[in-house]
Amino acid sequence: MTEEGVLVGQAAVDELLHVLDLDRTGEMSFRGMSPSVGPQRVFGGQVAGQALVAAGRTVDPERLVHSLHGYFVRPGDPTEPIVYDVENIRDGRSFSVRRAVARQHDKPIFFMSASFQVVEEGLDHHAPAPLDVPGPDEVPTMVDRLGRYPERLGIWSIIPRPIDVRYVGEPGWVRPGDRPAEPKQRVWMRIDGKLPDDPLLHACALTYASDLTLLDSVLSVHGEVWGPGGVVGASLDHALWFHRPFRADEWFLYDCWSPSASGSRGLATGRMLTTDGRHIASAVQEGLLRRVGG
């Protein structure tokens, strides 16, 4: 399925699955590629998702990932393969911990620690979901949004779109002055097709999605936008916790806000909730944010 030459729907999902399907080059080493069409540097969600694939493939599949913490240290080159080396930090009775380092040109571009746990029962609670959020079918699609701002399309006009993204408020890429200041950035998301029934793959897809709009919440506080007349940015670090079973190809609300911004850095946090209000994951990210001219 294409939309004016852009991969969307299941075709784009299949491309994402291909990107996440790493080649195994050794017992603890893997190699990944970037999409054939993409931005000038590797998307952070891609390298984090691939690193989780690498780490997860060295762990007993009965142990599910419950958290990851990563640092982006260099821009990735999308024209070059990415080598992932995994270190076995510990295999205990209940938990396994791995460290994965992504390298290009013999230099690290990203490193991540991830922890995996056997399924256990215990205390169970979560904060209630927000009550004032329209459902995914009640807010504009990405195509509707993009149609209003053809001059702001940028990379969106050519890259595959495997994730159905529907902003509840104004996105961060509208024209300067078109975005009101808001304390929250809320976005409905789902993989725009069908994924295999592999919990690790769904966790990797959610990791990929978690980097798409999180820093928007920093700009949202100030009514700022990305690009000319606004701000440029890059992810510095990223943390993600998985709380409950989920499917990344079903709708979830990414409810994000920013508790602080200073020193050209912004901190953003978000929680992901299913349509029936289950809290499935939480994310925290700090990003570099700098003003640019018009």
Please list the active-site residues.
211, 235, 285
CA gap 293, 161 in Å, rounded: 28
CA gap 219, 229 in Å, rounded: 13
| Helix residue spans in 57-211 (DSSP H) | 142-148, 199-210
| Residue (of 256, 241, 243, 234) closest to 189 by Cα position | 256
SS3 131: coil
Asked if 64 contacts 29 with a C-beta cutoff of 8 angstroms, the reply is no
Q: How far is CA 234 from CA 59, 143, 216, 290, in A?
A: 31, 25, 11, 9
